[in-house]
Amino acid sequence: MTQRYDVAIAGGGPAGAAAAWQAVQTGARVVVLDKADFPRDKPCGDGLTPRAVSLVQKMGLADEITKFHRVDGVTIFSPSQWELSFPRRPGMPNHGYCIARRDLDTLLLEHARSAGAEVRQSAEVAGPVVDEDGRVAGLTLKSGERVLADAVIAADGAYSPVKRALKLTSRYNGYSAIAIRAEMQANRPDSDSLAIHLKLAFQKDQLPGYGWVFPMGGGRINVGLGYVNTYKRWQQINATQLLGEFVASLPPEWELPAINELHKAKAVQGWRLPMGFTAWPPWRPGVLFAGDALGAARPASGAGISKALQSGLAAGECAVAALVNGGPDDFTNYQQRITSIWGREYRQGRLFHRLAGIPAVANAGVHLLDGVNQAKSLARLPFREDTRSAS
Ligand SMILES: Cc1cc2nc3c(=O)[nH]c(=O)nc-3n(C[C@H](O)[C@H](O)[C@H](O)COP(=O)(O)OP(=O)(O)OC[C@H]3O[C@@H](n4cnc5c(N)ncnc54)[C@H](O)[C@@H]3O)c2cc1C
């Protein structure tokens, strides 16, 4: 059986749902294929930055998002403690939210469906259909079914089967973080701040990363950590053990479970987080990459939800614009869009990665943040969202 669409999207996470929602606004015939059955979980810190909130608002979900746990700023432990509120920016919220991904992703995908996209769950994509000219012309499901489309959007996450099947090389390939988290009950009042702990060490080396404690509401917290792979001994790190040490370093009066209990309860989940545009350029004939499949997470902080939404919206819009104006062989418009929004920031971010991977530099950086008079403004940098407009 073969079906034909204007746009077929592999993956119904934030990137895929945003792309679908945007593409159907123009009347395009859109299908989203996801291997999971929603609601499904996704290993994440569950923290939405103000920019992510603004994009959810842009998709028409301003009221729905207020039901979740609101956060008004970031507390940075370096190990000195800095309280930072999110900046006020024109047309942007000055707060974020913490939302379990099973709730957020279900909300977004349902929204794309009610806007007109066809959503197929338990539909695992095996790879792209590639025509005789080498152009991606659709997706093949594991069941053998072929779904043909004028444009394919690969929003199939960090391990993107579409990207792997195409054996793409990119000059930015390999930039990635390892992140791990566990959700748990804590004996403390709910906070309205995201806590970031910059002191994160492996055998006395300061790691290029940080630990976090994000409040979920109802006494639950999401505790996790992440580090980038420019640190040369990253493969020697036992991430679960490191998370256990981090959990144990938190205030004893919170009465947090030990890591082996969390592990037994299957609360500990790790995942790879590609960043800095691992699929560059972000398109090939017939296909555009968005979200983690593009490696869209911010190199400085690892914030990936806002970038998944932003790149998904841009991919949905640019795919349709290119189809209407000349066909699917050229999605340069998408590349131009991504470059104009993030080009400079991501160039600096990749450099930041390489430098932070050197323990002496990472250590000096944290020391500087901790001690210098301007620590407050310096500390804002890694967690601040770019102030340019999200178009
Ligand atoms: C531990 C951890 C903590 C994080 N914390 C934060 C945070 O607090 N804030 C933040 O902004 N970012 C965070 N991130 C990053 C964020 O989770 C990702 O950047 C974001 O989920 C990317 O969205 P996406 O839609 O591209 O991919 P995903 O959310 O991974 O969605 C991809 C979808 O594709 C589907 N899929 C995969 N393979 C197939 C297939 N073969 N066929 C069909 N469907 C398929 C999956 O089922 C999934 O639904 C974190 C990442 C990790 C690993």
What's the angle, vertex CA 13, arms to CA 383 and CA 86, rounded to 5?
Answer: 20
**Which residues have C-beta atoms less than 6 Å from ligand 1?**
10-16, 33-36, 42-47, 124-125, 155-157, 161, 179-181, 224, 271, 273, 291-293, 297, 302-306, 308
Distance separating alpha carbons of residues 226 and 242, to the nearest angstrom: 10
Whose CA is closest to atom 32 on ligand 1?
157
* Most informative mutation of 35, 37, 44 for ligand 1 (most atoms within 8 A of CB): 44
Measuring from atom 6 of ligand 1, which residue has the nearest CA? 45
Atom of ligand 1 nearest to the CA of 222: 8
Distances in Å between the Cα of 9 and the Cα atoms of 159, 215, 228 are 15, 32, 29
Query: Whose CA is closest to atom 38 on ligand 1?
Result: 156
Q: Whose CA is nearest to atom 17 of ligand 1?
A: 44
The answer, yes or no, to whether residue 150 has pLDDT greater than 70, is yes
Q: Compute, in angstroms, the gap from residue 43 CA to the centroid of ligand 1.
A: 7
Task: Tell me which of 292, 309, 310, 338 to substitute to probe ligand 1's pocket, judged by most ligand atoms within 8 Å of the beta carbon.
Answer: 292
Q: How confident is the model at residue 380, as a pLDDT?
A: 54
Q: So what's the pLDDT on residue 358?
A: 85
In a domain, residue 56? The reply is yes
Q: 71-80, 130-139, 320-329, 340-349: which has the minimum mean pLDDT?
A: 340-349
pLDDT of 118 higher than 50: yes
Does 286 reside within a domain?
A: yes
**125: CA distance to ligand 1 center in Å?**
16
Instruction: Please say if the pLDDT value at position 235 is more than 90.
Output: yes
Is residue 172 within 8 Å of 289, Cβ to Cβ? Answer: no
Domain span including residue 296: 2-72+97-173+274-349
200 contacts: CB under 8 Å, gap ≥ 6: 206, 207, 209, 210, 211, 225, 227, 242, 246
Ligand 1 mean position to 292 CA, how many Å?
6
If you average pLDDT over residues 138-161, what whole number do you get? 97
Residue 91 phi/psi, 5° resolution? 75, 10
The predicted model scores a pTM of 0.94
How many Å lie between the centroid of ligand 1 and the Cα of residue 101?
A: 9
- Mean pLDDT across the chain, nearest whole number? 91
The reported pLDDT for the residue numbered 376 is 54
User: What CATH number corresponds to the domain at position 334?
Assistant: 3.50.50.60
Residue 379 has pLDDT above 50, yes or no: no
The proportion of the chain whose per-residue pLDDT surpasses 90, expressed as a percent, equals: 77
Q: What Cα–Cα distance (Å) separates residue 73 from each residue in 100, 259, 332?
A: 19, 28, 37
Dist. CA 326 → ligand 1 center (Å): 32
> Does residue 103 lie in a domain region?
yes
Model confidence at 387, in pLDDT bands (50, 70, 90)? very low
Is the backbone of residue 306 left (phi > 0), alpha (psi -120 to 50) or beta? alpha
pLDDT tens readout for residues 189-209: 999 999 999 999 999 999 999
Q: Is 235 exposed, middle or buried (0-12, 13-18, 19+ CB in 10 A)?
A: exposed
Report the atom number in ligand 1 closest to the C-alpha of 294: 26
Q: Is residue 218 part of a domain?
A: no
User: Which atom in ligand 1 lies closest to the alpha carbon of residue 36?
Assistant: 47
Q: What is the mean pLDDT of residues 159-169?
A: 93
Cβ proximity of 219 and 186 under 8 Å: yes
Does residue 268 lie in a domain region? no
The reply to whether 179 falls in a domain is: no
- Dihedral of CA 379/380/383/388: which sign? negative
Q: Is the pLDDT of residue 357 over 90?
A: no
- Quote the radius of gyration of the chain (alpha carbons, Å): 21
Range from 23-27, 87-91, 296-300 that averages highest in pLDDT = 23-27
* pLDDT at residue 314 greater than cutoff 60: yes
Q: What share of the chain is helix, strand, coil (3-state, %, to 5)?
A: 35, 25, 40
The confidence score (pLDDT) of residue 132 equals 96
pLDDT score of 253 more than 60: yes
Residue with CA closest to ligand 1 atom 41: 125
Q: Is the pLDDT of residue 316 over 90?
A: yes
* Protein residue whose Cα sits closest to atom 26 of ligand 1: 291
Angle between the N-to-C axes of helices 359-371 and 332-356, in degrees from 0 to 180, rounded to the nearest 10: 90
In-domain check, residue 207:
no
As for how many domains the chain has, the answer is 1
CA of 274 to the centre of ligand 1 (A): 10
Residue 386 has pLDDT above 50, yes or no: no
Task: Assess if residue 101 is contained within a domain.
Answer: yes
Distance 19 CA to ligand 1 centre (A): 14
